[in-house]
Amino acid sequence: MTSPKSDEIRSEIEATRAQLGHDLDELSDRISPQKVAGRTAQGVKTKVTTASSAGRDKARENPRAAGTAAGGLAAVGLLTSMIARRRRRRHRAG
């Protein structure tokens, strides 16, 4: 026959084991590479959506500034591609 004190201790140990098992399952779920990648992707989607929405709102408020910014981005893209092409040609020739 066990004493009430030992039954209480066993009960506490079982409760602690159950809580630890739950905690480990939760941690495993949090650090799962698939879950981390999913959360990261969702965060990026949210930021892009928010930024594009804000950009559209700004463009509606000031279309001239939006056009200027788009032109500037196009110029940077063009210059970047020209520089990359020139470097590839030099690398092949050299």
Spatial distance between the Cα atoms of 66 and 83, rounded to a whole number of angstroms: 26
Residue 92: which domain range? 63-94
Q: What is the tens place of the pLDDT at every residue in 26-71?
A: 998 888 888 888 888 888 888 888 888 887 887 788 888 888 888 9
Instruction: Judge whether 8 lies within some domain.
Output: no
**pTM listed for this prediction:** 0.39
Instruction: Judge whether 15 lies within some domain.
Output: no
How many Å is the Cα radius of gyration of the chain?
30
Main-chain dihedrals φ then ψ at residue 32, nearest 5 degrees: -60, 125
